[in-house]
Amino acid sequence: MIFKQLFTALEFLTILPVPAANWSEEEFGRSSVWYPLAGAILGLAAASFFWLTRQFFPNSTAAVLTTIFWAVLTGGLHLDGFSDCCDGFFASVTAEKRLQIMKDPCHGTFAVLGLVLLICCKITCIADLSGENDFLLFPLIASLGRLSILAIIRLPLANPNGMAASLKKNVPPYALWAGAAAPLLLAVSLGWAGLVLILTASLTVFAVSRLALAKIHGINGDVLGMSVELTEMVVLLAASFLAGNLLP
């Protein structure tokens, strides 16, 4: 049962080759407990790739390749939600119209601009992370991104249907606290720097939740994706800042 839930989480959040879980809607929700651990596995893969590419390329090139690798491993799942939110949230229209814009498969100017800025920021920050703690940092960052889903899933739904509604209906009540185990262990291993990154992620998730409530009066699948991407980006920024101070 445990492995099936973990495989379900990995199958949903990544394109990693795992045994097909053939999950039901209820199993899909219960697998959310394992999202942070799935994120840690994703981060470990990214850290390994970054280390490997740094053996052959300068840090800047390795950072570009790692950012591409990271995005490919997720199948662009969260980037799609982030771009939809950029289009909807920055439009000067009603909440109902924003939701319609977010459903449009065509991306507009705000989506393109948001993606460019996000990816440029990630590349620059990853280029700064070439210390001995990369194999803790990358898993922590990716794990915190997925933990953000569990942190905001209890907010009101902007749409009674869709992925977020299905997930919320079946998420176990203990999911947030159980899911926090993996990032907390990684953060403790990093000392004070890890605690700073935990606080940074918490503030980012709070800001995302306030923004979603203000713009569309709740959450949907796109907001969950945006939460993952923004949490990763802001924590990467914090890690970049700490790289020359608290992190060897």
Secondary structure string (H, E, C) spanning 65-108: HHHHHHHHHCCCHHHHHHHHHHHHHCCCCCHHHHHHHHHCCCCC
Single-letter residue type at 106:
C
Which percentage of the chain shows pLDDT scores above 70? 96
Average pLDDT over every residue of 212-218: 96
Does 196 have pLDDT greater than 70? yes
Residue 177 lies in a domain: yes
pLDDT value of position 20: 67
Number of Cβ within a 10 Å radius of residue 41:
23
Between CA 52 and CA 213 the distance in angstroms is 42
Single-letter residue type at 4:
K
Quick one: which H or E segment has residue 161? Answer: none
Does 48 have pLDDT greater than 70? yes
Residue 28 lies in a domain: no
Average pLDDT over every residue of 28-36: 93
pLDDT value of position 132: 77
DSSP symbol at 155: S
Task: Report the predicted TM-score, pTM, of the whole model to 2 decimal places.
Answer: 0.94
Average pLDDT over every residue of 29-49: 96
Does 248 have pLDDT greater than 60? no
- Under 8 Å between Cβ of 132 and 248: yes
Average pLDDT over every residue of 138-151: 98
Average pLDDT over every residue of 180-204: 95
Q: What is the mean pLDDT of the chain?
A: 93
Between CA 129 and CA 116 the distance in angstroms is 20
pLDDT value of position 24: 79
Using 50, 70 and 90 to split pLDDT, how confident is the model at 194? very high
Residue 10 lies in a domain: no
Q: Beta-strand (E) ranges in the chain? A: none
pLDDT value of position 173: 92
Average pLDDT over every residue of 59-65: 96
Residue 122 lies in a domain: yes
Cα-only R_g, the chain: 17
Does 147 have pLDDT greater than 80? yes
pLDDT value of position 153: 96
Between CA 90 and CA 111 the distance in angstroms is 9
Better-scored residue on pLDDT, 105 or 13 = 13
Which percentage of the chain shows pLDDT scores above 90? 78
Average pLDDT over every residue of 17-31: 80
Range of the domain at 56: 34-243
Residue 214 lies in a domain: yes
pLDDT value of position 100: 93
Residue 15 lies in a domain: no
Count of domains in the chain?
Answer: 1
Residue 131 lies in a domain: yes
Q: Which residue has the tokens 């939809």?
A: 84
Residue 17 lies in a domain: no
Contacts of 64 (CB under 8 A, 6+ apart): 123
pLDDT value of position 246: 58
Number of Cβ within a 10 Å radius of residue 9:
27
